Amino acid sequence: MTGEKLERAIRAGEKILEPKYALPLITFIAAFFRLIPLRYHYLFGYDPYFHLAYVEESLKAGRWVDFLTIAGGPWGFLIKNFHPLGLWMTPAYVYKVLSVFGVSIYDAFRITPVIFGVLTVLFFYLSMLNLYGKREAFFSALFLSVMFGHIFRSSANYYRGDNYMLFWYSVALYGISLALTKTRRAWRYRRFAFYLIPAFASGLASIFWQAYYPMFVFLIGNAVFLAFGAFILRKDRYLADAAALTLSTAFGALIANWLGGRFGYGMLGGDRWLARKTAEKLGIELGRIKDVYLLVHLRYLVPLTLLGIAVLFLISKPVKERRKRLPLAVLIAFSGALVLFMRFTVLKDLSSGFGIFGQHPILETVHPSFGDLWMAFSVLIFLCPFFALRFIPGNVRLSDFLLLGFVAPGFYMLYTWTRFLFIGSLAVAAAAGLGLISLHDLLHAKLESRLSTRKLSAVLLALLILVPAVSAGFGFREIYDERPVINDHWVQALTWLGENSNENDIILTWWDHGHWVTYYARRSPIVQGGPSRWLALYYLGKINKNQLMARGIDYVIVSYDTVLKFGSVLETANVSGAGYALVILPLVSRFGTLLFERDGYRIIAQPGERWKVIVNINGNSFSPREAFLEYRNSLAGLPLQSEKIGNAYVYMNLNYGYAVLMSEKTFNTTLARLMFTNEYPSYYRLVYSDGGYIKIFRFEHPNVVVTSENGSVVLRFTNATGTGLGILGYLDNGTLVFRKWYPVKGEEEFILPNDMNGSVVVRYTYVRKRTVLDRGVFRIDEFVTDTSR
């Protein structure tokens, strides 16, 4: 590069750093990366389908339904025990605004995460601009814009609640930055009003996501490190800012508690089992403050922080030397942490959710590997250590301490769970952005006397261009490679199920796919959103038909996707893997002889009057005990030539080009019998099959079908062998207002009473003496319009 071109490049770079250019550029980049998934019609993952189903059902009803009967199995699902309403109100209002332009609720839901993801980036940029300057703000915000760790959970088609928490924290950080940077005399006291921004932001964050608590952890961390920074740097007047910020979190906690009674509490609030369990572990009782974290925050964290700030203020008068202040600050910090952990010894289990998530960990609740960190942040993880250069004596600023308030807990969260890669992305963006500028300045100082001005400028310019470019390249690749988990096979199968089943039918499918059932079939899955040992045991053949009836199961779904998760089934069931084996092999040749092969496993099948099927495992050949072939609309066992027989079973599918090699123990599981054979108990009836990807079975048993006739709700009994019917009536908020048992021996139908004390939701139990034959739940207003009756 010639000197003239280099000079022009430097001038262009300086121009880009100007906020009037930087802000729109960063906005465009952030939006572009997050809109890439719009190339797919389907949503990503599983949870977004539940959220969209609830929004659609509530919009259809004209109110925010609390008791949802298309989720939660035969008991239904109380929304107030899940997320606060803000999570669903937001896309609903986005839809109402955009609907005038012809935007559907589906598309409004898809783009809502992008709106708040981009806003997070913008407020983060403005915060860093106030706290540091143009360079630090530009690169920190640019890194947040292009890192996959933040893009994924703020992108189109993937709707998650933590996106809102990070947005509200960026708003709060912006308010703090305004308070700290309004230094003119006219703002001497008025600037403290800006601390109302983090107060309201933290309070409002509580109604958008059930696990919003890191918001308060970050803010109290900001206050603590701001106090220590003010003390160590001898900027004692900013101790008042630390106190004001601490008090703002107390005000925010009170707002959150008030809003919880109107929009729903977080996961540690209200009468949830997790709130009760955590309160018990922490040894506290809830009263007016109805959330465990908010109570701990108000009763312990705020007073302890204010006490620490007061101690720093008192000793700041006699202790003036910086070298003496640092060890005192460390001593006070250690003492505060010791007091906290002595009061709550259970905090040692914080990283495992107080042990609650230890039994059935999922991908989101395990420690991230280096591969996870690389996927989320790529080269930026190597820039983060250079953030430490900010704390070299003579370079450190008060804002560096302030940022430690979310950088330190953010890095701890990165270590804890993969779920927190998104929340920790703000810490990585700040540390990497500041680390890059610190490295740039260090290289400039070290190389200035060794290189010519032209060479030095070229090196530094390359650093500032290559690192963001490489980071953007990795981020683009990751989000571009993302695919929806759901596919046409699932949509067609579940749409069919919704059109060919009763509204009160209960569906059994692997828990990952439960939310899809809720959305596409508008039926209630037995399990969704979290692992179930009972469900895993069912697929392994360890659950009998009486247990299915007791849970009201009407349909069972088996799928290729569940087969792929067979290892997870075993792990979730918590059974020994001894004797279980399953390998899926792709079809590599079908000319004359069928050949399936992968990683040392091979199946060779030669058609004939008696098929010759050979299994080869690392050079050892034998014939399976049984083999099944599925092609077009036919599934049948094959007559085999009698040769050396091994303890193996084979299923071959020519519709989708795969084969399954399994052990006898695996072959005899319910999953394998239903998916790979036509040999299963007579109480299963195949009602839907696409030839080897998804199969739906009707579970034949004495059943209840809910219908409406002449303005009344009628419960019809098929295979009417029951003797009693239990009816429970609930208000929409889950309050039980009606309970009665009716004798129905010899009856084929039951008309629901008109007077049920205002019930809008009914749970029923159909029994033969003490044996439950069927169970379910439905909303009365789904069958009759007059619920007062």
> What does 1-22 look like in DSSP terms, one character per residue?
--HHHHHHHHHHHHHHTSHHHH
Give me the mean pLDDT over the 321-338 stretch.
83
* Residues 79, 51: Cα–Cα separation, whole Å: 11
Residues in Cβ contact with 64 at an 8 Å cutoff, skipping those fewer than 6 apart: 58, 79, 85, 88, 89
Contacts with 768 (C-beta within 8 Å, 6 or more apart), sequence order: 702, 721, 722, 723, 724
In this predicted structure, the answer to whether residue 348 has a pLDDT above a threshold of 60 is no
Residue 645 tokens read as: 């027989």
- What tokens does 331 get? 């001593």
Question: What pLDDT was estimated at residue 723?
Answer: 96
CA distance 785 to 776: 20
Q: How many CB atoms neighbour CB 283 within 10 A? A: 10
- Contact predicate 737/729, CB 8 Å: yes
Name the token pair of 754.
Answer: 């008109």
Q: How far is CA 463 from CA 440, 456, 460, in A?
A: 8, 11, 5
Q: pLDDT digits over 426-454, tens only?
A: 999 999 999 999 999 999 888 887 887 78
Q: Which two tokens stand for residue 768?
A: 């033969």
Confidence bin at 376 (pLDDT 50/70/90): very high
β-strand partners of 644:
none
Say how far apart CA 75 and CA 763 lie, in whole Å. Answer: 7
- Chain-centre distance for alpha carbon 37: 17
Place of tokens 């961390």: 221
* pLDDT surpasses 70 at 523: yes
Whole-model pTM?
A: 0.94
Answer whether 630's CB lies under 8 Å from 674's CB: no
pLDDT at 171 over 60: yes
DSSP symbol at 519: I
Task: Concatenate the DSSP letters of all residues of 545-557 into one string.
Answer: HHHHHHTTEEEEE
Is the Cβ–Cβ distance between 602 and 596 less than 8 Å?
yes
How crowded is residue 259: how many other Cβ atoms within 10 Å of its Cβ?
19
Token pair 């106030």: residue? 130
CA-to-CA dists, residue 533 to 47, 525, 572, angstroms: 20, 15, 5
Segment holding 338, helix H or strand E: helix 322-343
For the segment 674-705, what is each residue's pLDDT rounded down to a tens digit? Answer: 999 999 999 999 999 999 999 999 999 999 99
Task: Look at 75-84, 323-332, 774-783 and tell me which has the smallest mean pLDDT.
Answer: 323-332
Question: What count of residues does the chain have?
Answer: 789
Whether 350 has a pLDDT exceeding 60, the answer reads no
Tokens found for residue 728: 């429970």
- pLDDT given at position 347: 57
Q: Residue 506 in contact with residue 698, Cβ under 8 Å? A: no
pLDDT, mean of residues 219-239 = 95
pLDDT for 448 equals 81
Cβ atoms within 10 Å, residue 610? 12
Mean residue pLDDT across the chain: 93
Mean pLDDT, residues 554-565: 98
* Mean pLDDT of the region 175-193: 90
Strands ordered across the beta sheet of 694-699: 524-525, 506-508, 553-559, 694-699, 684-689
Phi, psi of 759 (to 5 degrees): -60, 140
Question: Which two tokens mark 105?
Answer: 């609720």
Is the pLDDT score of 359 beyond 60?
A: no
Q: Give yes or no for residue 771 having a pLDDT over 80.
A: yes
* String of DSSP letters for 260-327: HHHH---TTBTT-HHHHHHHHHHT---SSS-BHHHHHIIIIIHHHHHHHHHHHHHHHTT---HHHHHH
Catalogue the E-assigned strands of 681-788: 684-689, 694-699, 703-709, 712-718, 724-730, 736-743, 749-751, 761-768, 771-779
Is residue 286 within 8 Å of residue 275, measured between CB atoms? yes
Mean pLDDT of 612-640: 95
At 89, is the secondary structure helix, strand, or coil? helix
At 550, the pLDDT band (50, 70, 90 cuts) reads very high
pLDDT of residue 362: 58
With H, G, I as helix, E, B as strand and everything else as coil, classify residue 702: coil
